[in-house]
Amino acid sequence: MIPRYSTPEMDVPAADAVTCRDRAPETDEAFVQAVLDREAITDHDVAAFVDVVQGAIGAPASSWIHYGLTSSDVVDTALCWAMRDAADLLIDASTELLGTLLSMAGAHRDTVMIGRTHGVHAEPTTFGAKVALWALQVDRDRARLRVARDGIAVMKLSGAVGTYSNIAPAVEQHVGAVLGLEPVAATQVVARDRHAEFLYACASVGATCELIAVELRHLQRTEVREVREGFKPGQKGSSAMPHKRNPISAETISGLARVLRSNLLAGLQDVALWHERDISHSSVERIILPDSSQLAYYMMRRLRRLLDGLVVMPERMQANLESSYGLVFSQPVLLALIQAGATRDDAYRIVQRNAMKAWDDGLEFRTLLEGDAEVDNSVLDDAFDLQRSLRNLNYVFDQLDDITV
């Protein structure tokens, strides 16, 4: 303790402090086994740990081990320390994924493809614009991870029910400064909304990875075939069908996202504890906190590898765009007719009539419009101009300039 806050009654004698440090047991396999053996008797993990440490140090100095603390002071502080470090790894992984997405967005800025709504051709876009939106979402996930990291980088040494009855707040401040954790007011445990926020950040990462994975799965369908996952020499897609090249990475990511969402629900249920504490959260957290941390990290790394090896097929994208007889320009035609003087209802009727005939009979949409007596052909050139549809996409890409990797 620093001299300003030292009191003889609360200070550990200097000689005892030296003894405790010098005789502290090494945390090797033998030590772990000794704690496990002791826990079989105490049925309490922290008490078992304290007993073994005290036994190694020996009386009277060992009496100062765990002095004035409760188990949660140790366990919650250590858990928050581990979660903070896990968050740092997650933030690094999100930054790496973001770098990959930014590079891909730039490379395919002008790679034209059809945009789809409800799985149906809508209007033209570019693959780069699609990836740019993914990058913006990953950047938001990174911001959420940073907030969650700050929220969980805390600690407490305030004792049973959090009243500092046996440990002065100055001790907590000193330990927090050494560990790089912020002391916070607490009951016997650190409030679990912090842990739930961390789990939400992990689940959000999973949802974003799944969003990208689901899109890539659709784009790899045989009928679409606009992208393809990398396929190594000697790799097999099916034990029965030698032609198969399946979207296995994207499907794996989709599945793991479900686990992260389920873990978030359990974490939210851990927020409400009895009075100043119970241990209903403890068994849950032993599973969901390490699992969510590891899965979110794995998913971002797996997605990055998928994107690094992704084969993009611009020619196929162009062919798919052109496969719907020019119907992707129906809205520009609608607006052009309105600007030429038609009412919206009349313009919609004209465009829909010709669009349905084009689709049903396999005829070019523009050819049908040019033969329609109600259509002013002078407006069609601009309406069917692909670059007109894409002329404002710079707005999307400009937002990427604010992202730092």
Of the residues 165, 238, 280, 283, which is catalytic?
238
Question: Look-up: residue for tokens 């405790």?
Answer: 20
* Phi and psi angles of residue 260, each rounded to the nearest 5 degrees, phi first: -60, -40
118 is catalytic: yes
DSSP assignment string, 275-326? TT--SHHHHHHHHHHHHHHHHHHHHHHHHHHHHHTPEE-HHHHHHHHHTTTT
Kindly report the number of other CB atoms within 10 A of residue 204's CB atom. Answer: 20
* Phi and psi angles of residue 382, each rounded to the nearest 5 degrees, phi first: -70, -40
Paired residues of 114 in beta bridges: 124
Residue type, 270: D
230: CB partners within 8 A, 6+ apart: 306, 308, 309, 310, 311
User: Distances in Å between the alpha carbon of 322 and those of 42, 285, 311, 327, 386?
Assistant: 73, 52, 21, 9, 11
Crossing angle of helices 71-107 and 45-57, rounded to 10°:
110
Residue 23 parent element (H or E): helix 14-23
Residue 30 parent element (H or E): helix 29-42
Kindly report the number of other CB atoms within 10 A of residue 127's CB atom. Answer: 23
195 is catalytic: no
What distance in Å separates the CA atoms of residue 73 and residue 160, rounded to the nearest whole number?
8
- Return the SS3 of 76: helix
DSSP assignment string, 168-179? -HHHHHHHHHHH
Question: Annotated active-site positions, please?
Answer: 118, 238
